[in-house]
């Protein structure tokens, strides 16, 4: 069983729509959750961190965490072509330094 699972996509959405990216994890001890954006050939860029159940908003991005159901999601409102990238979900168990990455979801925003 994979520790962090994401749909590899590609997820295609029209420009201006809401893109919804999902991630599930297996370790109930997980405490820290991160979303990274990675453009092709570039390094991962941290866009959101979430630690508590509920929603966390930052500009056009909203991270949602549900520890009971063991999933974390990222919503991108008013999607732009520049949002086209691979989005990596990363999870960390408290006190353990290793962050586990999902395989990433490729997002394509169609103009």
Total residues at interface with another protein (CB under 8 A): 20
End-to-end CA distance of the chain: 37
Residue 68's H or E segment, with its range, is none
Chain positions 3 to 32 lying near another protein, rule: CB under 8 A, are 32
Stretch that binds another protein, among 17-25, 57-65, 76-84, 86-94 (CB under 8 A): 86-94
Question: Counting contacts by CB under 8 A, is residue 94 touching another protein?
Answer: yes
List of residues 6+ apart from 59 with CB closer than 8 A: none
- Give yes or no for a contact between 12 and 22, defined as CB atoms under 8 angstroms apart: no
Contact residues: another protein, CB under 8 A: 32, 34, 36, 42-46, 49, 88, 92, 94-95, 97-99, 101-104
């Amino acid at each position: 069983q994979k520790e962090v699972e994401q749909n590899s996509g590609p997820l295609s959405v029209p420009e201006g729509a809401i893109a919804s990216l999902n991630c599930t994890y297996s370790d109930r001890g997980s405490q820290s959750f991160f979303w990274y954006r990675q453009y092709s050939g570039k390094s991962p860029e941290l866009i959101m961190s979430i630690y508590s159940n509920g929603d966390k908003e930052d500009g056009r991005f909203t991270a949602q965490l549900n520890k009971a159901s063991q999933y974390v999601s990222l919503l991108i409102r008013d999607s732009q072509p520049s949002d086209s990238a691979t989005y990596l979900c990363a999870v960390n168990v408290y006190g353990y330094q290793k962050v586990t990455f999902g395989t990433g979801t490729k997002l394509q925003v169609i103009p």
